[in-house]
């Protein structure tokens, strides 16, 4: 499979990351199949992608016609068997068993030439690939939130990933207007392994009552960061951030430096998932 052979891209998971990746691929001219098991999540994805495209038009990044054409290239599907494509990007929850089960289905319904990729933030690619018959056509393609804005994509090779798969993914990302970095297969890869402590240490400061969230965010922005850790967690999703931290904690055999926070656990339990729920570490207008 080469970049010239890729016409249709399937996205498995219509959450925040799946929506963004679908928009990026459709904007670049690919036909996109966006799947989610939840019909309500698909409806939300349609609305949010339309809103995102509207903002892109208002900022002069797309014309109205380009926006309409982009949206028309996206099919919304709730049947997993509709995920037939030249390349598949999985953007489901950070759960190894869920991902393995999904990829077994994806490998079964697609041709042998189809490239399967995961957008996992933290789970080693080789662990997911262990469920596949053709692991050489499997790799990590880790986009960052918000996908239409963030330029970086980490491409991760599993133990059995072949060089052609990686070359094709690099060419695809270039066509999407992204900058790629190659990473070896390790929990959290490069960015999340380094950035994890931006969140974990901020949460420890909060747990120890050193100061409050607003002060921590203000100090970090004054130090040169564009967003404070709590603002960023709310943007990414408190639940998503907690899931990635938990995954990395176990992947590194309960190394204390990756310990998840009880404060974050409580936020997740209460449904305070950040901007998408209207409340996280801060409150938001849900118009």
Catalytic residue among 67, 142, 272, 273: 142
Nearest to 261 by CA among 202, 195, 194: 202
Which DSSP symbol is given to 139? E
The reported pLDDT for the residue numbered 286 is 67
Expressed in percent and rounded to 5, the helix, strand and coil fractions of the chain are 50, 15, 35
Q: What is the mean pLDDT of residues 159-170?
A: 97
Whole-number mean pLDDT of the chain? 95
CA-CA distance, 42 to 226, in Å (whole number)?
31
Share of the chain above pLDDT 90, in %: 94
Taking the CA atoms of the chain, what radius of gyration do you get in angstroms? 19
Q: What is the mean pLDDT of residues 243-248?
A: 92
pLDDT digits 0-9 by tens, 114-158: 999 999 998 999 999 999 999 999 999 999 988 999 999 999 999
Residues 6+ apart with CB under 8 A from 140: 117, 118, 119, 120, 125, 154, 155, 156, 157, 158, 183, 185, 189
Nearest to 247 by CA among 234, 256, 260, 232: 260
Q: Please, what is the Cα angle at 26 between 20 and 30, to 5 degrees? A: 135
Distant-in-sequence contacts of 210-217, Cβ < 8 A, 24+ apart? 213/281, 213/282
Question: Is the alpha carbon torsion for 182, 251, 162, 135 positive or negative?
Answer: negative
Q: CA 124 → CA 4, 91, 115, 140, distances in Å?
A: 29, 15, 18, 9
Q: What is the mean pLDDT of residues 28-42?
A: 97
Q: Please, what is the Cα angle at 188 between 182 and 193, to 5 degrees? A: 100
Which residue has better confidence, 138 or 2? 138
Exposure of 134 by Cβ count < 10 A (0-12 exposed, 13-18 middle, 19+ buried)? middle
Q: Is 157 a catalytic residue?
A: no
Q: Is 243 a catalytic residue?
A: no
The reported pLDDT for the residue numbered 285 is 84
Catalytic residue among 52, 110, 121, 247: 121
Domains of the chain, earliest start first: 3-183 (3.40.50.720), 193-269 (1.10.1040.50)
Q: Is 250 a catalytic residue?
A: no
Reported as type and span, the H/E element at residue 187 is none
Nearest to 82 by CA among 30, 14, 33, 138: 33
The reported pLDDT for the residue numbered 1 is 79
Prediction pTM value: 0.88
The reported pLDDT for the residue numbered 287 is 55
Q: Provide the angle, in degrees to the nearest 10, between the axes of the packed helices 213-222 and 191-207.
A: 140
Per-residue tokens: 199: 């969140």
Catalytic residue among 90, 94, 107, 154: 154
pLDDT digits 0-9 by tens, 212-235: 999 999 999 999 999 999 999 999
Catalytic residue among 110, 192, 243, 261: 192
Q: How many CB atoms lie within 10 A of CB 212?
A: 13
| pLDDT band at residue 43 under the 50/70/90 scheme | very high
Q: Is 142 a catalytic residue?
A: yes
| pLDDT band at residue 12 under the 50/70/90 scheme | very high
């Amino acid at each position: 499979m080469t970049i010239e052979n890729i016409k249709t891209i399937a996205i498995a998971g219509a959450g925040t990351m799946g929506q963004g990746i679908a928009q990026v691929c459709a904007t670049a001219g690919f036909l996109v199949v966006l799947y989610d098991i939840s019909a309500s999540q698909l409806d939300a994805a349609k609305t949010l992608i339309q809103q995102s495209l509207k903002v892109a038009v208002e900022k002069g990044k797309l014309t109205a016609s380009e926006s309409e054409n982009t949206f028309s290239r996206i099919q919304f599907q709730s049947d997993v068997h509709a995920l037939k494509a030249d390349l598949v990007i999985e953007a489901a929850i950070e759960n190894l068993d869920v991902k393995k089960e999904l990829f077994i289905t994806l490998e079964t319904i697609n041709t042998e030439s189809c490239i399967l990729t995961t957008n996992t933030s933290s789970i080693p690619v080789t662990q997911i690939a262990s469920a596949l018959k053709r692991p050489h056509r499997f790799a990590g393609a880790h986009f960052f939130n918000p996908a239409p804005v963030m330029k970086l994509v980490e491409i991760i090779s599993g133990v059995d990933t072949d060089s052609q798969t990686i070359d094709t993914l690099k060419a695809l990302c270039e066509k999407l207007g992204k900058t790629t970095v190659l990473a070896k297969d390790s929990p959290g890869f490069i960015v999340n392994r380094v950035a994890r402590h931006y969140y974990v240490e901020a949460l420890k400061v909060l747990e120890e009552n050193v100061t409050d969230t607003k002060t921590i965010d203000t100090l970090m922005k004054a130090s040169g960061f564009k967003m404070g850790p709590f603002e960023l967690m709310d943007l990414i999703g408190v639940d998503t951030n907690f899931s990635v931290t938990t995954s990395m904690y176990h992947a590194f055999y309960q190394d204390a430096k990756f310990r998840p926070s009880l404060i974050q656990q409580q936020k997740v339990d209460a449904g305070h998932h950040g901007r998408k729920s209207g409340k996280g570490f801060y409150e938001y207008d849900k118009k």
